[in-house]
Amino acid sequence: MSTISPRRGFFRNAVKALIEARQREASRYVSGVLLGFDDETLKAHGYDREQLKKAANSR
């Protein structure tokens, strides 16, 4: 038997979904900014332009 009330579970799930959405938004933003760097700089720091493009355009 669960000790978490259904209402508390609802709010917990809502906050969790909000946090995940903000994390995806931040990831898209950072990927977009990183795409402004040249290929050599990206490679020196371990990034791949194609992966960044996919991350920046993801939903």
Q: What pLDDT is recorded for position 58?
A: 76
| Full-model pTM | 0.71
Please list, in sequence order, all residues whose beta carbon lies within 8 angstroms of the beta carbon of residue 39, skipping any fewer than 6 positions away: 49
Structure tokens at 5: 């009330």
Is residue 55 within 8 Å of residue 25, measured between CB atoms?
Answer: no
Q: What pLDDT is recorded for position 1?
A: 47
* Residue 2 CA from chain centroid, whole number: 31
Structure tokens at 3: 């000790």
What are the helix (H) ranges across 1-59? 6-34, 39-44, 49-57
Higher pLDDT, 18 or 3: 18
The model's pLDDT over 6-52, given as tens digits with 9 standing for 90+, comes to 667 899 999 999 999 999 999 999 999 999 999 999 999 999 999 99
